[in-house]
Amino acid sequence: MNDEPKRYHHGDLRRALLDAALDVLAEGQGWKFTLREIARRAGVSHTAAYKHFPDKAALLSELAAIGFERLRTDLDAALSNRSQASADSFVAMARAYVGFGLSNPNLYRLMFSADARQRANVRRDDRGEAALDILIEFIEMGQRSGWLREGDAREFAGAGWAHLHGLTLLMIDDLLAPKVGPNACEAAIAVLLEGLIASPQK
């Protein structure tokens, strides 16, 4: 681990601490770090760090929220046309979801970990819900267009999220392709989409 202290601009200590923690996650260190270690990486005393994060759990909660915010941004960017839902845009969005997990494995694991939800008095903000909302909105658009099956869009989105989450973890741990083949991810996305498409009228 690089213990070189980082400089931060006055008044932006909170951001510096978050950046330092994100760096540790990106380096593959996981989140076994202490708040004191993150303060050292940010180039400040641990007492200064406690002014922004009373404990490590508060820091982890905010890191998870940042992860969901970044995931939402990636999903949003994958939808070239937010006003029209298509099979191609669904596949692009699903690939973006899995791609986010593969590019940020430790952050992705933290986002769904119990460690990020330890503090009962730290209210989980709307950033996690916002990522799910993109999938809900997409399904609702597809239903209005008639090519996605009728039903509760929120329930379908939840099922889709569970499918993509499991797929992402399997891909991160390299447990899918060796058993199923190199196209396992694309096949899993195709199966998910097929389950959402409306049956043709007889």
pTM for the model stands at: 0.88
- pLDDT on residue 122: 42
With contact defined as beta carbons under 8 Å apart, do 60 and 110 qualify? yes
Phi, psi of 148 (to 5 degrees): -105, 145
Q: Kindly give, in sequence order, each residue whose CB lies less than 8 Å from that of residue 199, ignoring residues fewer than 6 positions away.
A: 149
Phi, psi of 197 (to 5 degrees): -70, 140
Give the SS3 label for residue 148.
strand
Query: pLDDT tens per residue, the chain (202 residues)?
Result: 444 445 544 458 999 999 999 999 999 879 999 999 999 999 988 898 999 999 999 999 999 999 999 999 999 999 877 667 899 999 999 999 999 999 999 999 999 999 998 764 444 557 778 889 999 999 999 999 999 999 999 999 999 999 999 999 999 999 988 778 889 999 999 999 999 998 875 4
- In the chain, domain spans: 1-53, 56-196
Specify the CATH architecture of the domain 1-53: Orthogonal Bundle (1.10)
Q: Which fold has domain 56-196?
A: Tetracycline Repressor; domain 2 (1.10.357)
- pLDDT on residue 11: 59
